[in-house]
Amino acid sequence: MARMNRPAPVEVSYKHMRFLITHNPTNATLGAFVEELKKYGVTTLVRVCDTTYDKKPVENESIEVIDWPFDDGDPPPSKIVDDWLTLLKTKFSEQPGSCVAVHCVAGLGRKRRGAINSKQLSYLEKYRPKMKLRFKDPNNHKNSCAIV
C-alpha cells in the first residue's frame, strides 16, 4: 500500500453533524485514503477541485462521491453553496451522526495561519445565511437549528 505523506485529516463536529476535511489523494495513495475515510465513517465525499484520481474505489466502499469543482483560492459559487446546504439538510436528516468529507487541491487552508486569502475573507464577511438546517430531535424537544 502506498504511504501517504500528507497532513492528517481534521474532523469537525457540531451536534449530530460530522465533517472530515482532508487532502486530495492520488491514484497511488487512494487505498490508504479510502481506509482513512472508512475509519471516520464517511458516507459522502465532496471534491471541490478538478478530478485527480479514480472515484470507483471510493464508491466501491459505499461512499458517495460528489464533484463540485471551483477555482482554487476562490470562494464557492452560489450554486455550490446552495447544493452544499441541500446536501447537508438531506444527509443529516436521513443519517444523523454520519460524516461528510470534503477536500480541495491541497487542503492548505485548514492548518496554517493566514491561509484564507483576501477574496475568501471578503466573501465570509459579506456572507448571509440562505437557509436554516432544521432537524427533528430524537428526544422530541424543539427542533435543533444550525444556520449556515
| Domain membership of residue 118 as a residue range | 10-122
Q: Is residue 140 part of a domain?
A: no
- Residue 52 burial (CB count, 10 A): 11
Reply yes or no on whether the pLDDT at 2 is more than 60: no
pLDDT digits (tens, 9 = 90+) for 95-124: 988 999 999 876 555 465 556 667 777 777
Q: Which three cell numbers stand for residue 74?
A: 476562490
Buried b (16+ CB within 10 A) or exposed e, 98-107: ebbbbbbbeb
Q: Is residue 81 part of a domain?
A: yes
Q: Is residue 63 part of a domain?
A: yes
CATH number at residue 43: 3.90.190.10
User: Model pTM?
Assistant: 0.76
Active-site positions read 72, 104
Q: Is residue 2 part of a domain?
A: no
Identify whether the C-beta of residue 91 lies closer than 8 Å to the C-beta of residue 134: no
Distance in angstroms (rounded) separating the CA atoms of residues 102 and 49: 10
Strand partners, 103: 47
Overall domain count for the chain: 1
pLDDT digits (tens, 9 = 90+) for 11-50: 999 888 999 998 889 999 999 999 999 999 999 999 998 8
